[in-house]
A and B are shown apart, each in its own frame.
Chain A
Amino acid sequence: MKVFIPDALRSYTEQRPCVEADGATLDELLMDLDQRYPGIRFRMINEQEEMRPHVAFFVRGEKTRDLRESLAGSTEVVIMQALSGG
Chain B
Amino acid sequence: MSEPGVELASGQTLIVATRKGVFFLNCSPDRREWELSEPGFLGHVCHHVVLDPRDARTMLAAAVTGHLGPTIFRSDDAGRSWVEARRPPAFDKAKPGETPRVVDHTFWLSPGHPDEPGVWYAGSSPQALWMSEDAGANWTSVSGFNDHPDYELLTEDPQAGTPDGPVLHSILIDPRDARHMYFGLSGGGVYETLDKGDTWQYLNNGMATTIAEPAGDGVREAQPSSIEWEPFGDQHDPHCVQMHPLHPDVLYQQNHCGIYRLQRPADTWERIGDNMPKEIGDIGFVVGLHPRDPETCWVFPMDGTDVWPRTSPGGRPAVYATRDAGRTWQRQDQGLPERGWFTVKRQAMSVDGGEPAGVYFGTTSGEVWGSIDEGAHWQCLAQHLPEIYAVEHATFA
Contacts and interface: CB of A to CB of B under 8 A. Distances in A.
Contacts, number: 64
Given A47-B103, A48-B94, A39 B71 contact: yes
B310 to A, nearest CB: 20
Given A11-B3, A49-B93, A43 B103 contact: no
Chain B interface size, as a band, is 20 to 34
Interface string A39-50: 100111111111
Where chain A touches its partner, the secondary structure class is loop
Contacts of A11: 1-3
Contacts of B68: 8-9, 43-44, 52, 55, 81
Nearest to A85: B66
Interface residues of A, number: 25
A9 to B, nearest CB: 7
Nearest to B68: A43
Most chain B CB within 10 A, of A42, A48, A49, A83, is at A42
Contact of B65 (A38, A49, A85): A85
Nearest to B91: A47
Interface string B80-93: 00001110101111
Given A39-B1, A52-B67, A47 B102 contact: yes
A83 B67 contact: yes
A38 B84 contact: yes
A84 B85 CA distance: 24
Interface of B: 1-3, 65-69, 71, 84-86, 88, 90-94, 100-103
- Closest A-B pairs by Cβ, 8 of them: A85-B66, A47-B90, A43-B68, A54-B67, A39-B84, A48-B100, A84-B66, A46-B102
